[in-house]
Amino acid sequence: MGLLTIIRKNRLKAQEMRILFLGLDNAGKTTILKYISHEDTSATSPTLGFNIKTLALPSSPYTLNIWDVGGQRTLRPYWRNYFEQTDAVVWVVDSADRMRMQDCKEELRGLLSEDRLAGASLLVFANKQDLPGALNISEIIASLDLNGIKSHHWKIFPCSAMTGANVFEGLDWVVSDVAGRLYYYSSTSLDSSSVSRPHDINTSPAPV
């Protein structure tokens, strides 16, 4: 058992998870974080550094330490400063930003090649599904070549930070995936009835 695994297990004993929100600028990371923190989502401004929130989901015994880091191009080299001890990456995509899907794919690919993220679960939020013209889940899986990801557990959820659709369902999945992977997940501690099925290539995307 590697040192990193021992550290991770010890942290899970303390019932904490470190979750890193990343994605291109304007994807909706901060708005999602506001939604799950029950804050006003109507106004956000670009994140120039990072936001951190510590919160508990109603359906989970774990305390989540969520780091939301600015995604502007000039800030992306600093993402690596946040990788240490990350249990899960939440990759937020602006589903309506068709022009930048290639950029989005390349940044995600680069991220997944980082050694310090090797054991992290990956939740992809296909955000802004409320916008007309948003790519659906199948289109985003194809655009980002998600089926090519063999190195990480991943799932994609369509969501909207504006309506809140599927936001907690996605988080529930990633929390249970981290907990299950590290053996400290107890089926009694996370109410499985609250975990909706994620949408990946094997399931039909649900409208949000």
DSSP at 98: G
Per the annotation, does 24 bind a ligand?
yes
Alpha-carbon distance 12 to 27, whole Å? 29
> Does the footprint of Mg ion cover residue 127 (CB under 5 A)?
no
Alpha-carbon distance 165 to 143, whole Å? 22
> Does the footprint of ligand GTP cover residue 52 (CB under 6 A)?
no
Question: Which residues from 134-153 bind ligand GTP, rule CB under 6 A?
Answer: none
Question: Which residues from 45-84 bind Mg ion, rule CB under 5 A?
Answer: 47
> Does the footprint of ligand GTP cover residue 56 (CB under 6 A)?
no
Task: Tell the smallest beta-carbon distance from residue 125 to ligand GTP (Å).
Answer: 9
Question: Which residues from 64-93 bind ligand GTP, rule CB under 6 A?
Answer: 70-72, 92
Per the annotation, does 49 bind a ligand?
no
Query: Is 72 marked active-site?
Result: yes
Choices 27-35, 135-143, 145-153, 194-202; region in contact with ligand GTP by CB under 6 A: 27-35
What DSSP element (H or E) covers 18? strand 16-22
Contacting residues for 131 by C-beta, under 8 A, at least 6 apart: 95, 96
> Between residues 8 and 29, which has the closer beta carbon with respect to Mg ion?
29
In contact, 111 and 149? CB cutoff 8 Å: no
Token pair 């923190």 is found at 37
Alpha-carbon distance 6 to 200, whole Å? 31
Q: Which residues are catalytic?
A: 72
**Can you give the binding site for ligand GTP, defined by CB under 6 A?**
23, 25-31, 44, 46-47, 70-72, 92, 127-128, 130-131, 160-162
